[in-house]
Structures are given as structure tokens and as C-alpha cells.
């Protein structure tokens, strides 16, 4: 069973569209959640943290549902510059959760392509 699973994508959307990405995680002991953005052949960069109460940063909204072990990222009014791969990232504290406690576990990413 995959530890962090994301929509496989790719998502091809027109400018101005609203797009949502989903992510599920398997370890209920997971503590922290993030979305990273990775441009083609570049390094990943932190986009935003995800809090239980939900959080918003401009056109981006992240939600966490601990009961369902589910994280989402909503992008409103998509721009061409939003084209990238979005990585769901989880930090878990618990035995046998890949690597060691406190390490980041990355989903495989969802590719977004925004077209004019």
C-alpha cells in the first residue's frame, strides 16, 4: 500500500479554471502536511503547509481531513505560470513508516498544465 497517494494526472486546464488535487496518506500517525511545487527539471519548493483548519494563500487553498486521511489543494483562476508538478508531502511519526520518524514522505506528484 502506497504511503502517500496522489491523483495521477496530468491535469490539462484552460487559463482561469479552478482545479483541485487530492492526496491520501496511509499512516494515521502522520503529523504534518505540505504541498510542494516542482517545475520541470527543477528542485521542489514549498508551496504551503496544510493545517487542520484549512488555509488559504491567495488563489491557493489547502484542506486537511484527518478522519479520512485526505489532503487537498485547490487552485482558483489558474495562470499559465501555475503549470508544474504538485507534490503532496507528509511527515509521520511512527515505526516502520519508510525512512525514519520525522522524515518527509513524498507523493509521486500530479502534473498540471495550464493552457492559454
Which of 62, 87, 90, 112 binds other proteins (CB under 8 A)? It is: 87
Q: Nearer Cβ to other proteins, position 11 or 109?
A: 109
Q: Decide if 47 contacts 86 (C-beta within 8 A).
A: yes
* Structure-block grid coordinates of residue 54: 484549512
Of 20, 29, 46, 80, the residue at the interface with other proteins (CB under 8 A) is: 46
- Triad 25, 29, 32: Cα angle to 5°: 70
All three cell numbers of 110, joined, read 500530479
What are the helix (H) ranges across the chain? none
* CB of 76 or CB of 108, closer to other proteins: 108
Question: Pick from 42, 59, 79, 115: which binds other proteins (CB under 8 A)?
Answer: 42
Among the listed ranges 18-26, 41-49, 53-61, 70-78, the one in contact with other proteins (CB under 8 A) is 41-49
By the rule CB under 8 A, 74 interacts with other proteins: no
Torsion of CA 105, 33, 88, 45, to 10 degrees: -90
**Dist. CA 21–CA 33, nearest whole Å:** 14
User: Which range, of 10-18, 19-27, 45-53, 73-81, touches other proteins by CB under 8 A?
Assistant: 45-53
Amino acid at each position: 500500500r502506497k504511503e502517500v497517494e496522489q491523483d495521477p494526472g496530468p491535469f490539462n486546464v484552460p487559463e482561469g479554471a479552478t482545479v483541485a488535487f487530492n492526496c491520501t496518506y496511509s499512516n494515521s500517525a502522520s503529523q504534518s502536511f505540505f504541498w510542494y511545487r516542482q517545475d520541470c527539471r527543477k528542485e521542489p519548493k514549498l508551496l504551503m503547509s496544510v493545517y487542520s483548519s484549512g488555509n488559504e494563500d491567495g488563489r491557493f487553498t489547502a484542506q486537511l481531513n484527518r478522519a479520512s486521511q485526505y489532503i487537498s489543494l485547490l487552485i482558483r483562476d489558474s495562470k499559465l505560470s501555475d503549470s508544474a508538478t504538485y507534490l503532496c508531502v507528509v511527515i509521520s511519526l511512527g515505526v516502520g513508516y519508510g525512512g525514519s520518524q520525522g522524515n518527509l514522505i513524498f507523493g509521486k506528484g500530479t502534473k498540471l498544465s495550464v493552457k492559454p
